[in-house]
Amino acid sequence: MSLSEDQTIAIPRAPESASSTFRATVPALEQRLHQPIPLLDHGFIRVIDYMGDDGAIVQAARVSYGRGTRKVSEDEGLIRYLMRHRHTTPFEMCEIKFHVKLPIFIARQWIRHRMASVNEYSARYSVMDREFYIPSPANLAAQSTSNRQGRDAVLEGDEAVEVLRLLRADAERAHDHYAWMLNEGIGDSPADPARQGLARELARMNLTLNTYTQWYWKIDLHNLFHFLSLRADPHAQYEIRVYADAMMEIVEAWVPVAARAFRDYRLGAASFSAPMLAVLRRMLAGETVAQPESGLAPREWREMMAVLQPPA
């Protein structure tokens, strides 16, 4: 499911249709409009449209400031203050619309972020292309024994070869059966005039979850930052993190001041519970504190110590 002919034509024609505007524009993002960024083996992300910039955040914040608060005059300082104290509504004044091509199993994880407008490619009306996500050997990992949502060591040898073969064979076989059921002359499955063919909305149920889909996804900056705080995190699943990392680069081109504040106060920061802070105060006072007398559960203790350890 690569860019369709209409989508491809729209890329070079977009600048030709540009006109003068009074709205804020960001040259670094204008250059990226409509340009697909390849991701995974067949996926991509591209910016379709956007509204607002760093100045729009400041403008929205200052409209609610009364007399006596005008000492906050420097835009970056204000944005960093807003981010630091989680004053979120000014960030909602900026919006961006992406065109994303991604495996279905990642789309189902992604759609859990509900504060966005989404319109997905419909297999009720159109035929799904024969494109599947097959992990690279470096990302083919075993199930973690300590984290039900995580991965462990990379599979190697005959087991890795067999897993990749099964993933590819199952996806191809499922799509072959899908094409046969549709009876629309797809790929190696020629149309049979003697058969009516199954409805598209039913035939699609047989496709594997690594089949690629596409959607338009529009979201405001505040909720995009929340998405990125979870999906650009090192603990996020690799496949969705690839998309989040690409989106973070786009955000840095679009609203660089807000992006820096987000990296400093959200993405690269850590929060502590009230019991954790109590333990930290005891440590800073010179007391030696171990987990049994800390009042913290073992898991919460490990999480706190993981944050406090210096980076390797």
Active-site annotation, residues? 231
- Give CA separation, 22 vs 48, 55, 143, 257, 279, in Å: 19, 14, 53, 22, 54
DSSP of 237-249? -HHHHHHHHHHHH
For residues 188 and 180, give the distance between their C-alpha atoms in angstroms, rounded to a whole number: 9
The DSSP code for 310 is P
φ and ψ of 43, to 5 deg:
-90, 175
| 250, 116 contact by CB (below 8 A) | no
- Number of Cβ within a 10 Å radius of residue 297: 11
Placement of tokens 């002919």 in the chain:
5
For residues 141 and 138, give the distance between their C-alpha atoms in angstroms, rounded to a whole number: 8
- Proportion of the chain in helix, strand, coil states, percent, rounded to 5: 45, 15, 40
| DSSP H or E run through 118 | strand 117-120
Q: What is the DSSP pairing of strand 141-143 with strand 117-120?
A: unpaired
For residues 158 and 167, give the distance between their C-alpha atoms in angstroms, rounded to a whole number: 14
| 131, 211 contact by CB (below 8 A) | yes
For residues 219 and 61, give the distance between their C-alpha atoms in angstroms, rounded to a whole number: 19
- Give CA separation, 77 vs 81, 241, 259, 261, 283, in Å: 6, 29, 13, 9, 32
